Amino acid sequence: MVFESNKDAFTKEQPPHAFGIYPPSQEGIHQLIACQQTLTNKTGNTMRIKACGMTQPEQVDQLADMGMTFAGFIFYPKSPRYVFKTMTTTQIRKENNINKVGVFVNASVEEVLHMVDECRLQMVQLHGDETPKFCEKIADYVSVVKAFRLSDNDNIQWMTRPYMDMCDMFMFDTIGAGYGGTGKKFDWNILKNETIGKPFFLSGGIEPGDEEKLKEFEKEPVARALFAIDINSRFETSPGVKDMEKLRIFVRNLNG
């Protein structure tokens, strides 16, 4: 199911896996239930997957059929996967069979909201130094995922607390030089003893062969809040060009 871009408030009382994706439209609980049926299998074990750094329209077109839930488009000009190197706003807007996530780094409120409208984005991922107040302004209009780049000794509660009421989800990635994903392996053990209190995306160098490790991580108490996993550079032949066969095998092994 693909949703409209106008945001509905998340229901904080619902546990993270009570329903499927939280829709940014005003359709209420019935759409949430329909969404759950669309995005989970009969045993409820299907992991949602976001393929980030998409730059090729013909590859975006294949994602939904292979079992992906989200396509990530990077709107950061310094990224090697900057979407406007290969796609136009019109092309992105016309992608209607996958939930579209726009990835931004220290952009202005006006720029983010303009791209949400122009490209018909369902979610915004903020991967820079955005303040809680900035996130709140964007979250008034569209669902917001705030990314945190973690090192081994970071106090996750201290980092996330100011954002708890200002955005809808978190993403946890590996710290590195510059902004955006590093492709470096993320030590999921950092999260094991945490209570996140918000649905989150798991990122950080996830690669082919990690399927069983992800299934084991899903058994951890913290994974009750695991909303989706985020994959990118380890599934590419070159920046922004995905190896579609690797993606198919990964989805099949993870959710088959």
Over residues 166-213, the pLDDT tens digits come to: 999 999 988 654 555 545 677 888 898 898 989 999 998 899 999 999
Q: Identify the pLDDT of residue 34.
A: 37
Q: Identify the pLDDT of residue 43.
A: 35
Name the residue with higher pLDDT: 6 or 200: 200
Does the pLDDT value for residue 116 go beyond 60? yes
Is 108 exposed, middle or buried, given 0-12, 13-18 or 19+ CB atoms closer than 10 A?
A: exposed
Q: Which residue, 188, 154, 150, 147, is CA-closest to 171?
A: 147
- Provide CB contacts within 8 A for 56, sequence distance 6+: 86, 87, 240, 241, 242
Does the pLDDT value for residue 136 go beyond 50? yes
Q: Identify the pLDDT of residue 173.
A: 87
Name the residue with higher pLDDT: 185 or 89: 89
The model's pTM is 0.83
Q: Identify the pLDDT of residue 23.
A: 37
- CB-based contact 39:20 (threshold 8 Å): yes
- CB-based contact 222:196 (threshold 8 Å): yes
User: From residue 80, how far is each of 26, 73, 86, 184, 204 by CA, in Å?
Assistant: 36, 12, 11, 16, 17
Q: How confident is the model at residue 20 (pLDDT cuts 50, 70, 90)?
A: very low
Is 196 exposed, middle or buried, given 0-12, 13-18 or 19+ CB atoms closer than 10 A?
A: buried
What domains are there in the chain, each with its CATH number?
46-255 (3.20.20.70)
Average pLDDT value over all residues in the chain: 83
Does the pLDDT value for residue 39 go beyond 60? no
Q: Identify the pLDDT of residue 256.
A: 76
Lowest-confidence region among 28-42, 58-72, 131-145: 28-42
